[in-house]
A and B are shown apart, each in its own frame.
Chain A
């Protein structure tokens, strides 16, 4: 069975500092991987995805993530945090077997200090 683990339910960074949100997955086959952001009282918005090809993927708002098969990881990074990045971030996987069932992690709330 697939699972997604996000290390750290809360992460706090200073404005301008590096953002690193960790995600590890367990899957019997290499999955498709996603990061979503959720602002208060809103639905989720896709930040970036990995399906095939280049393992370093770039998304919206300056975020990027790298798929590392050997580490079963898909950590999200941004070189310089902005106040507007404060939100809840979810890592998610879809098993690459033809279905569309998406498994989400528990989420990491990012706080950005001025």
Chain B
């Protein structure tokens, strides 16, 4: 079956631009996670949704970062006024309610801010 998909796979933005990154989770997965992975580092937790409810956003680095999942399926991570330090791979993962710890990851979106 289809896995987690993310789009775009690559995004180049000029500093100060806004970007929107999309995640399509596996059908039926109620939990959805966003991570930021800087070059040579492990993923860092950004935020977590259960259905449409954002239950944990403690990892969002600043108020320029905003995530939503209005219908409990597709999610969008928005970054306003991008800065060079936002350059990273943004990973999305989803999981079933009965196996919340088994996260399935998408291929990521590589964001480069110039």
Contact = CB atoms under 8 A, between A and B. Distances in A.
Contacts of B43: 44, 90, 102, 104
Interface in B20-35: 31, 33, 35
B41 interface: yes
Contacts of A44: 43, 91, 93, 103, 105
Interface residues of A, number: 24
Given A41-B107, A46-B102, A101 B45 contact: yes
Given A43-B107, A106-B42, A100 B100 contact: yes
Interface residues of B, number: 26
Interface residue SS majority, chain A:
strand
A34 B101 contact: yes
B46 to A, nearest CB: 10
Interface of B: 4, 31, 33, 35, 40-45, 48, 55-56, 58-59, 91, 93, 100-108
Given A43-B105, A49-B102, A100-B33, 6 more contacts: A32-B101, A43-B106, A44-B103, A94-B101, A106-B41, A107-B40
